[in-house]
Amino acid sequence: MKLKFFAALFACLTFACPVFAAQGDPISLETQIIDVPTAETMDRYQASFLTRAYDHGTIMESIDFGVYPRINLGVSIAVHELLGSSSSVRVLDPDFQVKWKLYDGSLYLPAIAIGYDGRRYGYGYDHRRNYTKTKQYLDDRKGGYLTFSREIIVPGLNATAGVNLSDFDFDDLYIFTGLFYHLADNFGLLAEWDNIRNIRDSRLNLGARITLHPSLALDAAVRRIGRGDESERILQLRYVTNF
């Protein structure tokens, strides 16, 4: 009971953070598509609160800060099976993320950033990808990555591509790519192909982003499309403010 109480308290506090934060600048930089990191970073003294609700009643809160020009630092924590009627609510180990934008891009060259993303998804799966209440994850952390981003072909169409090493093991080098298309001032389409090394391990994710307020955006997406029971629907809310 104590664990469930503290888990619920944590979720309430994190959901409330954006409400009581000071109004920030408009969301003008897309630092992430769905899971794929872009080369963009938040400005110094900006903070981003990202709340994701996903498979098995899990809630994850990620908080990122623009601590120096071009450098973002953040931490994430998730509560597994918080939503619903499960009696086995579990607070998962916290993870952290960092990103450093190396180059702003030019007319011919993309923006470039390096970083680390420790977030993992799909808690409680075994090596056969069955949900069996284990302590393993279906999706490994992205780990260290190098990413490139720029606008292509038509205005509002932004492309990202890069490579990542989940555990800094060069035998496990993955590729990722994604697109974000601004159809209107308050609506955009999201698409990404993540974790590419072979077809079985790769993930196709599609979604939409609705800007509810200049500093508030809601994403609705489907992850692991075409993977049967492994496919999942997610909702995430992002708020950007100043500190």
* pLDDT at residue 170, as a whole number: 67
* pLDDT at residue 27, as a whole number: 54
* Integer Cα distance of 66 and 54 in angstroms: 26
Task: Give the HSE-up count for residue 230: Cα atoms under 13 Å, Cβ half-sphere.
Answer: 21
* Integer Cα distance of 191 and 214 in angstroms: 22
Partners of 160 in the β-ladder: 149, 178
* Closest of 77, 165, 173 to residue 123, by C-alpha: 77
Q: Which CATH architecture group holds 2-242? A: Beta Barrel (2.40)
Q: Which helix (H) or strand (E) segment is 218 a member of?
A: strand 216-223
3-class DSSP state of 110: coil
Q: Which helix (H) or strand (E) segment is 19 a member of?
A: helix 2-20
Owner of token pair 């500190």: 243
* pLDDT at residue 3, as a whole number: 45
Partners of 114 in the β-ladder: 100, 146
* pLDDT at residue 148, as a whole number: 97
Other beta carbons within 10 angstroms of residue 195's beta carbon come to 21
* pLDDT at residue 5, as a whole number: 41
* Integer Cα distance of 98 and 109 in angstroms: 23
* pLDDT at residue 209, as a whole number: 96
- Is residue 221 within 8 Å of 33, Cβ to Cβ? no
* pLDDT at residue 107, as a whole number: 86
Partners of 131 in the β-ladder: 125
* pLDDT at residue 211, as a whole number: 92
| Intervals of the chain under pLDDT 50 | 1-25
* pLDDT at residue 169, as a whole number: 67
Other beta carbons within 10 angstroms of residue 77's beta carbon come to 18
Residues 82-140 pLDDT 10s: 998 888 899 999 999 999 999 999 988 999 999 999 999 999 998 888 888 888 999 99
Paired tokens of 100? 């450093």
* pLDDT at residue 22, as a whole number: 43
Owner of token pair 């489907």: 222
Task: Give the HSE-up count for residue 3: Cα atoms under 13 Å, Cβ half-sphere.
Answer: 11
* Integer Cα distance of 36 and 190 in angstroms: 10
* pLDDT at residue 161, as a whole number: 97
* Integer Cα distance of 80 and 126 in angstroms: 16
pTM of the model: 0.85
* pLDDT at residue 17, as a whole number: 42
- Is residue 126 within 8 Å of 140, Cβ to Cβ? no
Q: Indicate the domain borders of the chain.
A: 2-242
The alpha carbon dihedral of 165, 166, 169, 172 has a sign of negative
